[in-house]
Structure 1
């Protein structure tokens, strides 16, 4: 065979220009030959790593990166790819530098290995894996997303022993659509420092990171802890509990804080712009056999205030609930003729009756409009 680095011999090209997916690992004359290239060339050509080193040396490649340990007799292509760096083009890990956390997790994810197993195999090849504590023994392809400061695709990468924020945990969990506790425990297992220590109950506490008050009370009931303690833990975990946490509460509080009035999620979200909905208050009054004024007062005490323009009726009337269901205007918006006609068509009431009742409930309607007294047939 020709003894030139420019050899075009097919067998030589198999170890100097090695396809890696859609790219090529190409060693050039006068430049260092990475150990990862040696291993992958051996794995794909059918030669031993020692034979590849010998042939490259014969071709004039003098700077070949090799570990202190003996070369393996054979190597699997997947194991060789563990030394591929997580870059857009083909590059290989440097034996003289510690393996970055990003590269370890990317390699483990590509090969379906746990971080611990990937670290063991890289160490056997002569690489240095920094952490002193045990890495996770379970594989998780989401690891590489968890250590990116912007999990949506940009940002920097967390390294060995780096610290991160509770906000990062929440953002990553939202991106991965998983419980933030899953992210927190995994990051901790990878050696990333959090501003808090994950606790088993966090999984339940973080089932609703938006932290509506109904969720706080429900978790307090399930765990036997004070609502204030649950709210404090949510704050420590980076969430912002909604509403005003009560010192004492009862089952009715859970009912009126749930959208379906059954004491379960979905919970009533606090609206800081237009306040609580009057329709919800009337429905809650019927469901609990309490007056609308009583429900309004209790919701206000829990941080769900009613807009100042709203007028709470003395009695909850199902007809009002049906009417308000057809209105998509808040108390900050004016109700115009087209809205009145729409509600009239859905309820079977006359436009004049609809306009009169909406006015009585606090909605703003223009004075100059004459509304028809004729009732139409309600839509199904």
Structure 2
């Protein structure tokens, strides 16, 4: 049995067809006509929704979904994208007027139509829909932002959930969204508040500096610490620039969702130098290596840069959270030749140093394999190969 209407009037056929094209699939007389279909038909046929309802009733469609509010006087074609359910994955589904409109619906519709969330919320209300918070149009921002859906999506994969009106945003969500949008966590947090969501902390303008290098001014640097604690060097540098205690900076970073590094009560003059990878007191900073510990070469380079002994440098870095592997043996004094040797070694104190590693270092430094093997053993490396290393020096690689 066909569901086509008996009337052959082209206008009737269009209003009774789901796609408003006068062809199947047709509305089913025994099923409720969605409210969205009424609005869509009114927009396409440039008539009032009330006229569409009357025409459908005359064609035998008596079960028509209604809004709790009165029908709007008119509907524009620009309104149609707003009333399509953004959660429908496989086919066009009209937004259910009997349920509160989700924040996701407003934000995704705003993004698709390049309108501000407040504009979309007001228009949906005017069309007869009820917002989930009851007063969202008053609190939402007027400015459009294409990243809004990312801010409220807890996971961009298929198993993600969506934050809704008035929800509290988990701190890691702010950081994850900021990373995906390539913006600062402060910018992400303030936009979330503008969308009516709650945060477990109050965003502060100074957070921008806490989450980036004080020298490089890189807005994305803080985001890469999402799953670990910020380097101590960064904390001390920001504390120095803001003239605030390092412990206060570390505590604020913990509030913002980052790990809380241990910081000294009394920073020393050389701390920023020995904590920087380039020994210049600036980012990039040393990151704690929880597997093999601190680089022995860095300790010796830091000793040379500051005029302090290797043991003094190692002790201070240990206080700052950077430990030296128990197998490592510190020399009494730092030597440039020792640093050059260590920079050719790509093995950690957990690894065995084999013949090929010794020969490579000898080639790169111009030292004899026997000398290289002797020095590496003295520094704590394991050389398990039972070989007699030659005393003859090789020529430097590339010479």
Conserved 8 A contact 2:42-2:74: no
Q: Which residue of 2 aligns with 1:347?
A: 365
Conserved 8 A contact 1:213-1:241: no
Q: Which residue of 2 aligns with 1:106?
A: 108
1:330-380: CA deviation from partner (whole Å, max 9, x where unpaired): 111111112112222222322222211111221111151222223333224
Aligned-pair RMSD on alpha carbons?
A: 2.7
Distance 2:339 2:287 in 1: 19
Q: Would you say 1:238 and 2:257 are equivalent positions?
A: yes
- For these two proteins, the number of residue pairs brought into alignment is 374
Residue 59 of structure 1, CA deviation: 2.8
Q: Which residue of 1 aligns with 2:391?
A: 373
Q: Would you say 1:215 and 2:234 are equivalent positions?
A: yes
Q: 1:149 aligns with which of 127, 130, 154?
A: 154
Question: Which range moved further: 197-206 or 329-338?
Answer: 197-206
Residue 232 of structure 1, CA deviation: 0.9
Structure 1 stretches of 5 or more lacking a match? none
Distance 1:149 1:352 in 2: 58
Distance 1:268 1:13 in 2: 72
Distance 2:101 2:12 in 1: 30
Q: What is the SS of the residue equivalent to 1:18?
A: coil
1:93-124: CA deviation from partner (whole Å, max 9, x where unpaired): 22232211121111111112221111111112
Conserved 8 A contact 1:25-1:90: no
Conserved 8 A contact 2:43-2:74: no
Conserved 8 A contact 2:175-2:257: yes
CA separation of 1:98/1:374 partners in 2, compared to 1, >3 Å: closer, same or farther?
Answer: same
1:191-250: CA deviation from partner (whole Å, max 9, x where unpaired): 2222222222222223324411111111111212110001111112221133x3111214
CA separation of 1:12/1:313 partners in 2, compared to 1, >3 Å: closer, same or farther?
Answer: farther
Q: Which residue of 2 aligns with 1:225?
A: 244
Distance 1:8 1:350 in 2: 99
Structure 2 stretches of 5 or more lacking a match? 213-221
Question: Which range moved further: 310-319 or 226-235?
Answer: 310-319
Q: Would you say 1:257 and 2:275 are equivalent positions?
A: yes
Q: What is the SS of the residue equivalent to 2:19?
A: strand
Conserved 8 A contact 1:276-1:304: yes
Q: How does 1:60-209 map to 2 (within 5 A)?
A: 60-67=60-67, 68-76=69-77, 78-86=78-86, 87-88=88-89, 89-129=91-131, 130=133, 132=135, 134-207=139-212, 208=222, 209=225
CA separation of 1:248/1:27 partners in 2, compared to 1, >3 Å: closer, same or farther?
Answer: farther
Q: Which residue of 2 aligns with 1:334?
A: 352
Residue 50 of structure 1, CA deviation: 4.8
1:60-104: CA deviation from partner (whole Å, max 9, x where unpaired): 22233344334343503x322111112213222222322111211
Q: What is the SS of the residue equivalent to 1:353?
A: helix
Q: Which residue of 2 aligns with 1:28?
A: 28
CA separation of 1:50/1:307 partners in 2, compared to 1, >3 Å: closer, same or farther?
Answer: same
Residue 152 of structure 1, CA deviation: 4.2
Conserved 8 A contact 2:71-2:128: no
Q: Which residue of 2 aligns with 1:295?
A: 313
| TM-score of the two chains, using structure 1 as the length reference | 0.88
Conserved 8 A contact 2:99-2:130: yes
Distance 1:371 1:284 in 2: 31
Distance 1:97 1:145 in 2: 23
CA separation of 1:95/1:297 partners in 2, compared to 1, >3 Å: closer, same or farther?
Answer: same
| TM-score of the two chains, using structure 2 as the length reference | 0.84
